[in-house]
Structure 1
Amino acid sequence: MCGRFTLITTPGAVEDVFSVIDLDPFPERYNIAPTQPVLVVVSAPSREPGSNLPDRQAVLVRWGLIPSWAKNPADMPLMINARAETVGEKAAFKTALRHRRVLVPTTGFYEWRREGKTRQPFFIRPKGGGLIAFAGLMESFSEPGGSEIDTAAILTTSANTALADIHDRMPVVIRREDFARWLDCLTQEPRDVVDLLRPVQPDFFEAIPVSDRVNKVANLGPDLIERVEDPVVAPQPKPKKKNEDQDQLRLF
């Protein structure tokens, strides 16, 4: 899954990587959490022939997708993630998958490895650094009072072999050369982009053990991504006693 992520960069870098213009200034964000505003890149409305304006826009949305047909969002689970394996079958996501695919700019995400009664957080970032994009979906929800809110979810897939010992899920990464195809909801149907919904290669990310300060949403500083020297060590299995297997078989 993906429950926290970062955007530690400048508006200019986002403009360069995602081919958008005129981004408003924003602070570096070290602990983006569900229900907070997140930056997403969408296909821009069709332009006049010969226009020099970009084909993409960057907009702020609420992290936590609310389907357009929802009666009362309070009665629905917080849908921050969508499973890539079943996203096309779920009523909450299938329309967005067809018509409103987006890119979520990021510089890394956090995941927790459960170790007994504790959980060790890791900051997972591209080995080469820089900006990458998660696959996202967007929906607009009209509130009873008439106001409209844009919302989004991040797609996840099974973890690759490098991250599987931390968690069994990871966000779907859309490579830069595939940005246009993922965003193209006019000519690219869901079946045409399903090949993009796969784990990234094992050597793409590095996992850095960090302090549990990231657990608290109010903590926002760069210390959150600093490596801790003594992370929690996963417990080793106890050695079997002599004849233990035979003893267990007596239970059946």
Structure 2
Amino acid sequence: MCASYGLDPRFTDTELLAAADEAVLEGLRGWAQENARETVRPTGKNLRNLNPIVVQPETSPTLESVSGPVWESAWWGFLIGGEPSKFPSINTRSERLQDRPGGLKTRALVPATSWYEMKKPERVWHEFLVDDGALFGMAAVTQRGRTADGESFTCYSIVMRPAPPHLAGIHDRMPLLIPASLSEDWLTAEPTKEIIDEALLAAMTLDERVQAVPRTDDKGADRLF
């Protein structure tokens, strides 16, 4: 599972969108700077750690043109009945979406420059990077939710897939990374099995660019949670 990830404003590339939107990128840099490069953690019942996601805004059939992707603050994990769901919801298995593509009705990209997993039984945290800190997008499914006080949020769940062989020895799952060339389709395509199958195939083109770095210093587990 992915229980923590990072967004460093010093990201070196723009792998997020096929047509990089500078307004989106600058918004992400600004958010990351305000967040002081702290690790992103799930939003809890008593916390509102709202994190940036990239979505395709809804448009009216009467509009002459369709606006491009935008970023918004969102709640990591689903809200059910006014509180975080009783079932694990910060991650969704890709296999589940293949079997039940209705879960793909609304989707997002989660911008990140790293994610973290613990290697067991050694209990050593590893930081996963694309290249040397490039920006990338993790696939997510979304739905609307409300807190107990009635405030409405977009909620998101990061899609997880089996890890490739060179990473599986550290953790058997990894986020589904969406190449920039597929970003528009991921955000706009019909919610069918075809789009998740296409995303899984496209993600394999990034596999060899992913590296895992052990974190044994003070930026390890104690800083993650």
Contact 1:107–1:130 (CA under 8 A) maintained in structure 2 = yes
- Alpha-carbon displacement from aligned partner over 1:31-55 (angstroms, at most 9, x marks no partner): 111112211100023273157xx41
**Equivalent residues in 2 for 1:76-115 (5 A)?**
76-87=86-97, 89=99, 95-98=102-105, 100-115=106-121
1:55 aligns with 2:68: yes
Gaps in structure 2 of 5+ consecutive residues: 44-48
Q: After TM superposition, give the deviation of residue 8 of structure 1 in Å.
A: 0.6
- Indicate the SS of the match to 2:195: helix
Contact 1:103–1:135 (CA under 8 A) maintained in structure 2 = yes
Aligned match for 2:59, one of 43, 46, 57: 46
- Alpha-carbon displacement from aligned partner over 1:5-26 (angstroms, at most 9, x marks no partner): 1111269977984526262722
- Alpha-carbon displacement from aligned partner over 1:141-163 (angstroms, at most 9, x marks no partner): 13454321221110001010110
- Indicate the SS of the match to 1:85: helix
- Alpha-carbon displacement from aligned partner over 1:195-216 (angstroms, at most 9, x marks no partner): 2135535412111111264323
Give the alignment's TM-score, normalised by structure 2.
0.78
State the AA in 1 paired with 2:73: L
Paired residue total: 206
Structure 2 distance, partners of 1:73, 1:88, is 27
- Alpha-carbon displacement from aligned partner over 1:165-203 (angstroms, at most 9, x marks no partner): 001101000000000110014xx2322212213553541
State the AA in 2 paired with 1:77: F
Q: After TM superposition, give the deviation of residue 131 of structure 1 in Å.
A: 0.8
Higher helix residue share: 2
- Aligned equivalent of 2:7: 7
1:166 aligns with 2:174: no
- Aligned equivalent of 1:29: 37
Q: After TM superposition, give the deviation of residue 128 of structure 1 in Å.
A: 5.1
State the AA in 2 paired with 1:127: D
1:205 aligns with 2:210: yes
Contact 2:15–2:180 (CA under 8 A) maintained in structure 1 = no
Mark the structure with the bigger radius of gyration. 1
Aligned match for 1:130, one of 109, 131, 134: 134
Q: With CA pairs under 8 Å and 6+ residues apart, which has the higher RCO, 1 or 2?
A: 2
* Matched-pair identity in %: 22
Contact 2:114–2:127 (CA under 8 A) maintained in structure 1 = yes
Structure 1 distance, partners of 2:91, 2:149, is 27
Q: After TM superposition, give the deviation of residue 79 of structure 1 in Å.
A: 1.2
Structure 2 distance, partners of 1:104, 1:209, is 23
- Indicate the SS of the match to 1:29: coil
Contact 2:57–2:70 (CA under 8 A) maintained in structure 1 = yes
Distance 1:158 1:13, change over 3 A: closer
Contact 1:135–1:174 (CA under 8 A) maintained in structure 2 = yes
- Alpha-carbon displacement from aligned partner over 1:113-159 (angstroms, at most 9, x marks no partner): 013xx401111101254111000111111345432122111000101
Give the alignment's TM-score, normalised by structure 1.
0.71
State the AA in 2 paired with 1:64: G
**Equivalent residues in 2 for 1:226-237 (5 A)?**
none
1:215 aligns with 2:224: no
